[in-house]
Amino acid sequence: MTTLLPTLEGATEDDLAEALHGCARGDRAGLQLLYDRLAPKMTGVALRMLRRRDLADEVVHDTFLRIWDKADSFDAARGRPTSWAFAILRNTALNVLRGEGRMELVGDFEAIEPASEEADAETLVMALSEASALRRCLDRLEPARRRAILLAYMRGLTHGELAGRLGVPLGTAKAWIRRSLLTLRECMT
Amino acid sequence: MSADERDRLASEYVLGLLDAEEMRRCEERLARDAGLAVQVELWRARLAELDATAAPVTPDPALWPRIEAALAVPAPKAARPTPARPSRLATWWESLSLWRGYGLAASAALVLLAIGTAQLARQAAQAPVLVAVLLSDQNQPAAVVNAFRDGRTELLALSALKAPEGKSLQVWTLWDRERGPVSVGLLEAMRNVELSVEGLPRPAAAQLYEVTLEPAGGSPTGRPTGPILMKGNASPTETGI
């Protein structure tokens, strides 16, 4: 499995782990290194989830403050620095999606376009490396179910929202996703 | 919780499928269930490649200075108990600095343009000390707010936006997160208008102005409730405050 994100050229996971230890000691240079390496990709991920640049920026802002505050809880034995940092980013973005700001996200200017979402989901698969196990395993899923998994991850949709987007009852959506995730796990283990 | 249930919860948590309440419960459980934590890590690793496919976006140059400024805590980090940092996303008006950074570069030229226009219009008359260009969601200039030395503040419409039937356009300003946004005008359609700023402090740099869509007659709560149609922060002019 690919372990380094493309933005990390020149910095290994070890460098990032060292930077996190620096943050835990109060060394701002550590946070700046993480920011320089991770912020562009994080902004891209947050923008994909929230679709609003101002909110994406704010999520990245809050993410780095959380990284700074929580750096001493990073445990290299339990996960990679990028995985740890992106988990914070995703949770921060999900909190916005699930929080009070919700209404603002779908204002007058944000018409949801299901067609473009489908295209997004397919583009996302194509963007995965040919050699990727994830891609190979996603390819085993029926297109509609693959789309459900990808939309959930990429856009932070809940079961209920997915059901609406896919035009199936909630129970059906949950069962599809449950089975798809099981297939993925078995395929990737 | 069986191994399968644990795996399912982990996968749905990492995928982002849980609603707010389910997320909270899962995070509580994560703190005491090492098996669940391991499954969560495995799912994160499985799906991490999807994040790598996002197109990188150059962060706003103002973002890092903001982050760095927010780190400026007086006590040494090791000695201070971890404070519960209130999320600035909790309520939008708490995030004054969000708007400050937003579109700053893009609007700098517009600010200069607006200052030029405003000064031309007034010629020898009094020039504004602060100008805010309000940008639409599409980053298009939609209105200008001019604030004058005596505190008088005017809104100049650059768009012919009209409120739909049963709605009003409400103008707000925010200078203090504690106080929250304050209504300074209510319109049916965008037009040049003097804003009602009596009794408010003199406007200051970076003060936020925005227009939201509200029920006819204005927001029933005294706070913005509808979508933001345009917004911008005040910049000092050459005349100075």
A158 within some domain: yes
Q: What pLDDT, on the 0 to 100 scale, is given for residue B11?
A: 94
Buried b (16+ CB within 10 A) or exposed e, B52-89: bbbebbebbeebbebbeebeeeeeebeeeeeeeeebbb
What's the predicted TM-score (pTM) here?
0.58
A40 touches chain B (CB under 8 A): yes
Lowest mean pLDDT among A167-181, B109-123, B177-191: B109-123
- Residue A153 has its nearest CB partner, among B50, B57, B87, at B50
Lowest mean pLDDT among B49-63, B90-104, B146-160, B172-186: B90-104
Buried b (16+ CB within 10 A) or exposed e, A12-43: ebebbbbbbbbbbebbeebbbbbbebbbbbbb
Q: What is the CATH number of the domain that holds A122?
A: 1.10.10.10
> How far lies A150's CA from each of A111, A142, A144, in Å?
20, 12, 10
- Asked if A26 and B92 come within 8 Å (Cβ–Cβ), the reply is no
- Asked if B63 and A39 come within 8 Å (Cβ–Cβ), the reply is yes
- Residue A83 has its nearest CB partner, among B44, B68, B71, at B44
A148 within some domain: yes
Tokens of A159: 């079961």
| Shortest Cα–Cα distance, B191 to chain A (Å) | 21
Coil, strand or helix at A93: helix
* 10-residue stretch averages of pLDDT, chain A, 189 residues long: 44 89 93 96 93 92 95 85 94 84 43 55 80 90 90 88 88 92 90
Residue of A nearest to B75 (CA): A26
Residue located via tokens 């035009």? A167
Q: What pLDDT, on the 0 to 100 scale, is given for residue A141?
A: 93
A77 within some domain: yes
Q: How far apart are CA B15 and CA A156, in angstroms?
A: 7
Interface test with A, best of B44, B67, B213 (most A CBs within 10 A): B67
A90 CB neighbours in chain B (<8 A) are 16, 51
B82 CB neighbours in chain A (<8 A) are 69
- Identify the top-confidence range among A97-101, B57-61, B81-85, B159-163: B57-61
Lowest mean pLDDT among A19-23, A115-119, B49-53, B167-171: A115-119
ipTM for the whole complex: 0.85
* Residue that terminates a domain, selected from A105, A137, A162: A105
Does residue B79 register a pLDDT over 60? no
Q: What pLDDT, on the 0 to 100 scale, is given for residue B240?
A: 59
Residue of A nearest to B82 (CA): A69
Give the residue with greater pLDDT, B182 vs B141: B182
Q: What pLDDT, on the 0 to 100 scale, is given for residue B126?
A: 66
The radius of gyration of chain A's CA atoms, rounded to the nearest angstrom, is 18
Interface test with A, best of B7, B8, B13, B17 (most A CBs within 10 A): B17
Of residues A89, A85, A82, A101, the one with CA closest to residue A12: A82
Give the residue with greater pLDDT, B32 vs B91: B32
Q: How far apart are CA A103 and CA A97, in angstroms?
A: 9
B37 CB neighbours in chain A (<8 A) are 78
Confidence of residue B84 (pLDDT cuts 50, 70, 90): very low
- Asked if A107 and B228 come within 8 Å (Cβ–Cβ), the reply is yes
My answer on whether A21 and A99 are in the same domain is: yes
Tokens of A108: 């007058």
Mean pLDDT for B198-226 is 88
Lowest mean pLDDT among A77-81, A108-112, B14-18, B140-144: A108-112
My answer on whether A101 and A12 are in the same domain is: yes
Helix (H) or strand (E) holding B131: strand B130-136
Q: Is the dihedral of CA B50, B4, A145, A93 positive or negative?
A: negative
* Residue that terminates a domain, selected from A73, A105, A137: A105
- Asked if B49 and A96 come within 8 Å (Cβ–Cβ), the reply is no
End-to-end CA distance of chain A: 11
Q: What pLDDT, on the 0 to 100 scale, is given for residue B85?
A: 45
End-to-end CA distance of chain B: 64
Q: What is the CATH number of the domain that holds A81?
A: 1.10.1740.10
My answer on whether A32 and A84 are in the same domain is: yes
Residue located via tokens 């009602």? B196
Q: Is the dihedral of CA A99, A101, A103, A109 positive or negative?
A: negative
Residue numbers of the domain that contains A152? 114-188
Residue located via tokens 């050229």? A9
Tokens of A126: 């194509």
Q: How far apart are CA B43 and CA A150, in angstroms?
A: 14
Of residues B67, B53, B60, B69, the one with CA closest to residue B103: B60
My answer on whether A82 and A148 are in the same domain is: no
A132 CB neighbours in chain B (<8 A) are 49
Please give the single-letter amino acid code of residue A21.
Answer: H
Tokens of A110: 């944000």
Architecture label for domain B94-236: Sandwich (2.60)
A132 within some domain: yes
How much of chain B, in percent, has pLDDT values that exceed 70?
76
Q: What pLDDT, on the 0 to 100 scale, is given for residue A128?
A: 86
- Asked if A124 and B50 come within 8 Å (Cβ–Cβ), the reply is yes
A139 within some domain: yes
My answer on whether A97 and A134 are in the same domain is: no
Q: What pLDDT, on the 0 to 100 scale, is given for residue B112?
A: 52
Give the residue with greater pLDDT, A25 vs B82: A25
Of residues B156, B151, B127, B155, the one with CA closest to residue B240: B127
Residue located via tokens 């000064």? B119
- Asked if B46 and A185 come within 8 Å (Cβ–Cβ), the reply is yes
A99 touches chain B (CB under 8 A): yes
